Amino acid sequence: MREALRRTTSIGDRRLLLEGDHESTPDPVRGAEVAVALLHVASSDTGTPELRVGLATGPVLAREGDVFGSPVNLASRLVAIARPGSAVVSRSTRDALVDDDRFELSALPTKRLKGLGPVRAYRLRDSEPSVLNGSWS
């Protein structure tokens, strides 16, 4: 059974979603499913600004309702370079998704990200929107 997503931190209009708990192994596929489903749902609501998603996976430290670690910082920086209505993922997330036919991944130019240096990121899309639509209820 899949763990529920938790909203852990709010900073302005940004939300950090965490899958599972601090003891579970990160699941990049689950994260990608959620990312494309959120983009699909958000794109159908014309009354709100377009969503931007940054997705990075890896171990984090959860303390007193907050989450710390390199994946948190990287995801935040990826959101900043994502275009409205798109999802950008880290290299390690891309590597975990590359053989999954449900996702399309395209390389973005290497960017220098604050506090991280040069980072190669990838645009994430679902290959067939109907395949992932609603798959994460």
Residue 38, CB-side half-sphere exposure with 13 Å CA sphere: 20
Q: What is the mean pLDDT of the chain?
A: 78
How high is the pLDDT of residue 45? 58
Q: Over the range 95-126, which residues count as b (16 or more CB within 10 Å of their CB) and which as e? A: ebbeeeebbebeebeebebeeeeebebbbbbb
How high is the pLDDT of residue 67? 76
How high is the pLDDT of residue 71? 87
Q: Which of 121, 133, 136, 130 is nearest to 53 (CA)?
A: 121
How high is the pLDDT of residue 125? 92
pLDDT band at residue 46, thresholds of 50, 70 and 90?
Answer: low
How high is the pLDDT of residue 1? 34
Residue 103, pLDDT above cutoff 50: yes
Mean pLDDT of 31-45: 80
For the chain, list the domains and their CATH numbers: 5-132 (3.30.70.1230)
73 Rama sector, left if φ>0, alpha if ψ -120 to 50, beta otherwise:
alpha
Mean pLDDT of 68-73: 86
Q: What is the pLDDT of residues 84-95, one digit of tens each?
A: 989 999 999 999
Residue 131, pLDDT above cutoff 60: no
How high is the pLDDT of residue 24? 55
How high is the pLDDT of residue 17? 59
